[in-house]
């Protein structure tokens, strides 16, 4: 009995434990799924990663035109007449009678200075004059009486001479007092400061309440229509126009060359000017000669002190090739342009640029008329790359020396 018990216990302990059937099936399925995943081929790359899109670039046509060549100089606008307004007397400023920066006419009241001290001085001068006239009248009466007595030999000659001299001295005092009255009236009148010319009055340099004197600048009035532009030009350019310049101011002067003005914003001033004056000598240090031109200024657009370029045509460059300046790249002093061929492929071509004219550049060598050049997007292209060219909305503008909206003609500085 004891042996059977031993055998039974060993039999139960010796059998391997059995897994449930459902767990076996799940394990096999998981292994098959893992094997299937590892055997799948990787997805093919997108077509775009193999063939990148063709870049779009902005292009412009190389234009061939005859362009005027201009000589240029930097000038400064100056009022045709400039009047510094200073008081002729001293006193406290009571009133400003004009608006800063406004147009004023000749004789218009600009400032008023406290006139009370000058009114008092005038009253005193008038009193002194009245007293002197009364004294003169009395002395003249005395002289008339003494003249009769002297003629009758009643009084000695010395007494008569004394009365005569006293009367003459009184007459002199009257004249002096009359001059003092006149001077006092002038001082009183000068308490009101008027504009001597028509023009634009600047911002006041003194404020109401300031003590001003004869050296105090109150403001400046400038006649700005027409307005002068002073500018130096090189001696070589002066010699180019010498035949016309030397006759300025003569009765039968030759027509002045057309003078144009380019403002600081790059726009062409609406009104052409004419040469007005040439200085008497060349500056030996700079090799330039100072000149002045007159420009109409009816809208008062130009104000004294503005910087502007003055230009006059000196020559014409025939069959010049023009491209926008944005088409030209510069690398270490070498210039190149991205040219788009008929097959829409890019060629990086070295060029020799000439003179600039506004937003355009004259190309002396390296391009042909009608070729397409990249003006925007050049940083995206390389030699031989295929591109999608798109013309700019505004093609290369026409050359015009008179249109304010057009480009500036070629210049020689």
Instruction: State which fold the 87-114+191-212 domain adopts.
Output: OB fold (Dihydrolipoamide Acetyltransferase, E2P) (2.40.50)
Residue 315 pLDDT level (bands cut at 50, 70, 90): confident
pLDDT for residue 95: 96
Please give the mean pLDDT across all residues of the chain.
Answer: 82
| The listed CATH number (2.40.10.220, 3.60.20.10, 2.70.98.10, 2.40.420.20) that belongs to domain 56-67+316-412 | 2.40.420.20
* pLDDT of 374 above 80: yes
Mean pLDDT value of segment 393-410: 42
pLDDT for residue 255: 60
pLDDT for residue 69: 81
Residue 351 pLDDT level (bands cut at 50, 70, 90): very high
* Domain layout of the chain by residue ranges: 56-67+316-412, 73-79+222-315, 87-114+191-212, 116-189
Q: Hey, how many other C-beta atoms are within 10 angstroms of the C-beta on 378?
A: 19
Residue 408 pLDDT level (bands cut at 50, 70, 90): very low
Q: Among the listed ranges 47-56, 117-126, 270-279, 372-381, which one has the minimum average pLDDT value? A: 47-56
pLDDT for residue 399: 43
Which two tokens mark 302?
């130009």
**25-68 pLDDT per residue, tens:** 555 555 555 545 444 555 555 544 566 788 888 999 999 999 88
Cα separation, 175 vs 183, in Å, equals 12
| The listed CATH number (2.40.30.170, 2.60.120.10, 3.30.1360.80, 1.10.287.70) that belongs to domain 73-79+222-315 | 2.40.30.170
Q: What is the CA radius of gyration of the chain?
A: 49
pLDDT for residue 245: 62
> Would 87-114+191-212 and 116-189 be classified into the same CATH topology?
no
How many degrees, rounded to 5, is the angle at CA 98 between CA 92 and CA 99?
115
Percentages of the chain per state (helix, strand, coil), in multiples of 5 = 30, 35, 35
Q: Tell me the CATH number for domain 116-189.
A: 1.10.287
Give the residue from 322, 330, 312, 325 showing the smallest Cα distance to 411. 312
């Amino acid at each position: 009995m004891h042996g059977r018990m031993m055998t039974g216990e060993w039999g139960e302990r010796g059998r391997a434990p059995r897994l449930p059937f459902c767990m076996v099936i799940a394990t096999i399925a998981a292994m098959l799924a893992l094997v299937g995943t590892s055997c799948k081929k990787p997805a093919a790359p997108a077509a775009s990663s193999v063939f990148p899109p063709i870049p779009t670039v902005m292009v412009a046509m190389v234009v061939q035109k005859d362009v005027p060549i201009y000589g240029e100089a930097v000038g400064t606008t100056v009022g045709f007449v400039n009047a510094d307004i200073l008081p002729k007397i001293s006193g406290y400023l009571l009133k400003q009678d004009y608006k800063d920066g406004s147009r004023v006419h000749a004789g218009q009241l600009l400032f008023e200075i406290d006139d009370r001290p000058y009114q008092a001085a005038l009253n005193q001068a008038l009193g002194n004059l009245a007293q002197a006239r009364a004294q003169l009248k009395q002395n003249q009466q005395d002289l008339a009486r003494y003249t009769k007595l002297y003629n009758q030999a009643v009084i000695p000659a010395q007494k008569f001479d004394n009365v005569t001299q006293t009367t003459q001295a009184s007459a002199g005092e009257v004249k002096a007092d009359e001059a003092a009255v006149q001077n006092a009236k002038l001082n009183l009148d000068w308490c009101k400061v008027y504009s001597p010319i028509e023009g634009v009055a600047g911002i006041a340099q003194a404020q109401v309440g300031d003590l001003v004197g004869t050296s105090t600048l109150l403001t400046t009035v400038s006649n700005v229509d027409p307005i002068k532009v002073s500018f130096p030009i090189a001696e070589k350019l002066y010699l180019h126009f010498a035949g016309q310049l030397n006759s300025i101011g003569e009765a039968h002067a030759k027509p002045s060359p057309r003078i144009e003005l380019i403002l600081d914003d790059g726009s062409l001033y609406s009104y052409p000017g004419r040469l007005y004056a040439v200085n008497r000598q060349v500056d030996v240090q700079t090799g330039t000669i100072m000149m002045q031109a007159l420009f109409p200024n009816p809208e008062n657009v130009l104000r004294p002190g503005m910087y502007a370029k003055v230009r006059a045509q000196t020559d014409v460059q025939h069959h010049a090739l023009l491209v926008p300046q944005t088409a030209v790249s510069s690398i270490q002093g070498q210039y190149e342009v991205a040219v788009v061929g008929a097959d829409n492929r890019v060629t990086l071509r070295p060029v020799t640029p000439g003179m600039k004219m506004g937003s355009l550049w004259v190309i002396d060598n390296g391009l042909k008329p009608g070729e397409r050049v990249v003006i925007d997007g050049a940083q995206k292209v390389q030699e031989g790359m295929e591109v999608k060219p798109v013309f700019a909305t505004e093609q290369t503008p026409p050359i015009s020396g008179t249109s304010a909206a057009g480009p500036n003609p070629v210049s020689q500085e």
